[in-house]
Amino acid sequence: MTGLDPETLSGADAARLLAAFAEIERLASAGKLLSARRVESSNVWRRSGHRSAAAHVAEATGTGI
């Protein structure tokens, strides 16, 4: 698949995809949170040269602190 063209989907298919993507997003967010907590408690962020666990997570996820 090279891309998603919503205009080619039926309404029912779009609704199913929406639900699936929402579930994926929920699971991914939970996984990120659990992993970030472990990064903090393990101090791996210090060994990788970051000033804080938040800085490590921000770099890893491409987000701000």
pLDDT tens per residue across span 8-27: 999 999 999 999 999 999 99
7 vs 41: CA distance, rounded Å: 46
Is 53 in contact with 40 (CB distance < 8 Å)? yes
1 band by pLDDT with thresholds 50, 70 and 90 = low
Angle (CA) 35-43-62 rounded to 5° is 50
Question: Which single residue is written with the structure tokens 């991914």?
Answer: 28
Model's pTM, two decimal places? 0.72
pLDDT, one tens digit per residue, over 35-55 is 999 999 999 999 999 999 999
Position 18, amino acid:
L
53 vs 59: CA distance, rounded Å: 10
